[in-house]
Chain A
Amino acid sequence: MSVLVGNETRLVVQGITGREGAFHAEACRDYGTNLVAGVVPGKGGQTAVGVPVFDTVAEAVEKTGANVGFVLVPPPFCADAYAEAVDAGLDLVVSITEGVPTRDMVRVMRTVPPGGTRILGPNCPGVISPGKAKVGIMPGFIHKEGHVGVVSRSGTLTYEAVHQLSERGIGQSTCVGIGGDPVIGTQFVDVLELFAADDDTEAVILIGEIGGGAEEEAAEFIRRELRKPVVAFIAGQTAPPGRRMGHAGAIVMGGQGTAAGKMEALRSAGCTVVESPAEMGAAMEARLRG
């Protein structure tokens, strides 16, 4: 098995007729994802990327059995698209959109009932279960089927980690980008819970960055519950305090959210914490051998 997406995924792309929407819908389908529908309000009845387009997500679910949404719409409309997916009862909805107002995310998260739709992102590369399905913008070919779970707040740095693994012949069960914004739908701990329960995941790479306390919460979970080897890297060891490093959430404030604090928390939870981003693959290789 893998987590979040796999052979059972039936994908609906929200915003499928846009340039980005069409491009990535096609790339996901070409990777092997079962793309079943698109949604664009006012374009119901048309066809795009070889699948029917519907006016609403609810209709797409009813007619095609879609269970995962991929939102490719501009920032002002992203929260509404997430909310529509939640209302339609999808299992998972992913958005890569960068620049979604934080207040919109705060409000959307309030609409998810307990046990309801899982929101991933925004501002993330998405999720891929190599060889099965990809719902995201990551380059599929750098991945390799296998048993290491990857979870990260960053995009290209995740590709770097995956590349280092695949280069060593180490495959991945699922790679999840949770996004670099201050308020996101799925946190490290949520993904670690999934990896903990997944028989196909034998070890985990966690890639964090400065800002907030999500890595510390992850460390606490790992210490308490995760009986699988974890290799971790924290980006931003050299970042100056008080500055936002590209990601809206990457900021050290009042001595909180430093790389040093996160590295220490993860280390004392039993993770192998690498200082250099070039060592992620090698460290995992060592943990798997050891």
Chain B
Amino acid sequence: MNLHEHQAKALLAEYGVPIPRGKVAFSVDEAVAAASELGLPVVVKAQIHAGGRGKAGGVRLARTEDEVRAAADAILGATLVTKQTGPEGRLVRRLLVEEGVAIARELYVSFIIDRSTGRPMCIASAAGGMDIEEVAAETPEKILTVTVDPAMGMQPFQARRLAFGLGFEGQVFRNGTKFLTALYRAFEGLDASQVEINPMLVTAGGDVLALDAKVSVDDSALFRQPQVAALRDIHEESPFEVEASKHRLSYIKLDGSVGCMVNGAGLAMATMDIVKLAGASPANFLDVGGGASADQIENAFRILSSDPEVRLVLINIFGGILRCDRLARGLIDAVRKLGVTLPIVIRMEGTNVELARRMLEESGLDFTTADGMRDAAEQVVKRLAGQEAA
């Protein structure tokens, strides 16, 4: 789960990570009030779950009350198009109004779980404000990393090594090691999958602050992070995906026309791949879970048929121990109940598959049964071509 910058900063502050003073605002008036409370100048920042806001005009310095009003007015309600939002952009519904700080240096620091060691890793670089991927590609020698033993936590010598590597001295060195240690504690305590501070700021006065904060929390840990779970902003998610998650379906919208319904994430990805290879284009990723229960199938149909781009549905269920005749009954019932008119190509494997095929064919509904994945993809392309001809 992703968090807004203002939410992330508030959580980090609880672990002792220094942040600038700031307030969230949902209207222009609230932004102006926040600015007068904080004192000018302020920075007005769009709050969306996507990076690249600054370059897209979503981060503005305001020196006077009029400038605050103008900045808030321009950003709130605007659709920001950044390198991470896609061309459709993201509507800005809230702002962070923050005290303007005098910048001496901008640096980069993040924590992730390094998958090859299975341990937390800190990545730091003196090149703040830049994309870390760019730094890694162009000047990999500028990137510092430290792997943390989960039983020990971040150790003082590791924080010192990073602080020396970033060129910190004197008071800034002491503030820097404190900052890094607190940040690791937050990463651990919040069950974060990523905490990224870009830029980490050294002020003219020698303070070290998190000027920006991106925190993603492990979805599997939300059951024990109720404070984080309560921060979910469903406006930042696609309505289809929100609906799917209510039914414990794993769904991701894509831009093709073949609606896919599959059991298992790996097989679901593979099904998208084979659709694409056959020359068509998947409308979504959808995993209905190992069991593909009647209930899951009905909800899956409801979501797929509410996507106007979908012109055909491909079902690929590797049942194994699942009885295909039961699956077929569930499918027929769901299609009748919901009045689904889309053509359906179905490939299934499991016990009683012959009986299931007969049930589908005799149902009088628009089912095409396929034999294996390749045949399924070919049937999909054939049916789409038929639709175009008609």
Contacts and interface: CB of A to CB of B under 8 A. Distances in A.
B307 to A, nearest CB: 16
Nearest to A239: B269
A1 B116 CA distance: 29
Contact of A101 (B218, B276, B290): B218
B273 A238 contact: yes
A251 to B, nearest CB: 10
Interface string A82-120: 000000000000000001111101110110000000000
Given A76-B223, A102-B193, A278-B372, A242 B84 contact: yes
Residue of A183, A235, A248 with most partner-chain B CB within 10 A? A235
A156 interface: yes
Contacts of B56: none
B218 A102 contact: yes
Given A76-B224, A278-B373, A153 B266 contact: yes
Interface stretch (A59-67, A158-166, A193-201): A158-166
Interface in B168-206: 188, 191, 193
A236 interface: yes
Contact of B119 (A106, A155, A157, A180): A106
A18 interface: no
A269 interface: no
A154 B151 contact: no
A75 interface: yes
B149 A238 contact: no
Nearest to B116: A213
A254 interface: yes
Contacts of A182: 113, 115, 193
Interface string A230-271: 000101111110110111111000110000000000000000
Given A102-B113, A106-B119, A246 B223 contact: no
B147 to A, nearest CB: 11
B108 interface: no
Residue of B118, B191, B285 with most partner-chain A CB within 10 A? B118
Contact of B116 (A154, A214, A255): A214
Nearest to A177: B266
Interface in A27-51: 27
Contacts of B212: none
Contact of B277 (A159, A214, A276): A276
Nearest to B131: A254
Interface stretch (A3-11, A168-176, A204-212, A221-229): A204-212
A159 B320 contact: yes
Contacts of B373: 160, 276-278
Contacts of B274: 276-278
Given A183-B115, A212-B115, A235-B270, A139 B264 contact: no
A151 interface: no
B221 A156 contact: no
A100 B250 CA distance: 16
A286 to B, nearest CB: 16
Contacts of A239: 269, 272, 285
B50 to A, nearest CB: 9
A156 B270 CA distance: 10
B220 interface: yes
Interface in B142-171: 149-151
A102 B119 CA distance: 10
Contacts of B151: 107, 110
B118 A105 contact: yes
B269 to A, nearest CB: 4
A109 B149 CA distance: 11
Contacts of A154: 264-267, 270
Given A213-B115, A214-B115, A276-B274, A246 B221 contact: no
Interface of A: 27, 75-76, 99-103, 105-107, 109-110, 137-139, 142, 152-160, 163, 180, 182-183, 207, 209-210, 212-214, 217, 233, 235-240, 242-243, 245-250, 254-255, 275-279
25 contacts: A101-B218, A103-B218, A103-B221, A107-B151, A110-B151, A137-B290, A154-B267, A154-B270, A157-B267, A158-B266, A159-B318, A159-B320, A182-B115, A210-B269, A217-B116, A235-B266, A235-B269, A242-B84, A246-B266, A246-B285, A275-B277, A276-B273, A277-B267, A277-B271, A278-B372
Given A110-B151, A183-B113, A183-B118, 7 more contacts: A27-B321, A76-B224, A156-B263, A182-B115, A209-B269, A249-B115, A278-B377
